[in-house]
C-alpha cells in the first residue's frame, strides 16, 4: 500500500509540512484553504468534494470535530464518506494533542487562541471600527498564544495590533512544539 494521504485545514499546513519533511509523519498532504472556515457550507462542500476525489487513497482528515458546526456535522460527513479523522475539537486542540485537551486549558471558552497561521485568519475578523471589533470579542477574557514552531516573536506587531483592535490582552504564551499534533495524526493514521 502506498503513502497515506492527509486532507487538512491550511491552518495546520506549516506544522504538518515540517512533520512530513522531517520524516516524523509518513504521509502526503493536501491543504484546503483556511478561509473556508468563514462559511460552514462551503467548507462542507469543498471537504466532501476532496474526500470524494481522493476516496481510493482512503485519506485521513485533519480537521476538528467542531469545524463544520456544533451539531455533529463533521461526524456526519465522516460517516457519509467512510473516512477517519483526527481526534481533536479544532486545530488548537490538535496542536495540544487532541482528545479534548483544549477543554483542560479553556473549559469555559473564555479565551481566543492564536498560532502563527491563525493570526492571518484572525485578522480577517477585525473588519469594523475598533469599537465594533471590541463588541464582537467582548465575551472573551483574553488571548492565549499557542507557539508550535517557536516563532511567535516574529508576529509580535501583528499580535499587538489584534490585541488593540479586539481589546483582548495576551494572557499566556505556551510553547507546545509539534509532538501533540504528531501524536494525534499518527493515531488517526493507525486507525485508517
Residue 49 has a pLDDT of 97
Residue 127 has a pLDDT of 87
Q: Pairing state of beta strands 142-147 and 170-175? A: parallel
Query: The domain spanning residue 87 has which CATH number?
Result: 3.40.50
Q: Pairing state of beta strands 170-175 and 27-32? A: unpaired
Do 8 and 90 belong to one domain?
A: yes
Number of domains present in the structure of the chain = 2
Q: Is 108 helix (H, G, I), strand (E, B) or coil?
A: coil
| Predicted TM-score of the model (pTM) | 0.91
Task: Decide if 75 contacts 104 (C-beta within 8 A).
Answer: no
Containing structural domain, residue 107: 99-175
Phi, psi at 24, each rounded to 5°: -70, -30
Whether residue 191 is predicted with pLDDT greater than 80 in this model: the reply is: yes
* Neighbouring residues of 45: CB distance < 8 A, sequence distance ≥ 6: none
pLDDT per residue as tens digits for the range 12-68: 999 999 999 999 999 999 999 988 988 999 999 999 999 999 999 999 999 999 999
pLDDT per residue as tens digits for the range 132-152: 999 999 999 999 999 999 999
Look-up: residue for cell 508550535? 148
Residue 124 has a pLDDT of 86
Going by pLDDT thresholds of 50, 70 and 90, the confidence category of residue 2 is low
Do 90 and 159 belong to one domain?
A: no
Residue 150 has a pLDDT of 93
Amino acid at each position: 500500500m502506498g503513502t497515506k494521504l492527509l486532507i487538512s485545514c491550511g491552518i495546520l499546513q506549516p506544522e504538518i509540512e515540517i512533520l512530513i519533511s522531517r520524516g516524523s509523519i509518513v504521509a502526503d498532504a493536501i491543504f484546503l484553504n483556511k478561509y473556508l472556515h468563514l462559511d460552514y457550507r462551503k467548507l462542507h462542500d469543498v471537504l466532501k468534494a476532496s474526500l470524494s476525489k481522493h476516496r481510493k487513497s482512503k485519506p485521513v482528515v485533519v480537521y476538528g470535530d467542531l469545524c463544520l458546526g456544533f451539531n455533529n456535522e463533521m461526524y456526519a460527513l465522516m460517516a457519509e464518506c467512510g473516512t477517519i479523522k483526527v481526534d481533536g475539537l479544532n486545530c488548537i486542540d490538535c496542536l495540544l494533542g487532541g482528545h479534548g485537551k483544549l477543554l483542560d486549558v479553556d473549559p469555559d471558552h473564555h479565551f481566543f487562541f492564536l498560532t502563527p497561521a491563525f493570526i492571518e485568519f484572525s485578522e480577517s475578523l477585525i473588519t469594523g471600527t475598533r469599537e465594533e471589533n471590541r463588541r464582537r470579542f467582548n465575551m472573551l477574557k483574553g488571548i492565549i498564544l499557542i507557539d508550535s514552531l517557536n516563532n511567535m516573536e516574529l508576529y509580535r506587531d501583528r499580535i499587538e495590533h489584534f490585541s488593540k483592535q479586539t481589546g483582548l490582552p495576551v494572557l499566556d504564551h505556551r510553547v507546545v512544539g509539534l509532538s501533540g499534533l504528531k501524536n494525534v495524526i499518527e493515531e488517526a493514521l493507525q486507525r485508517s
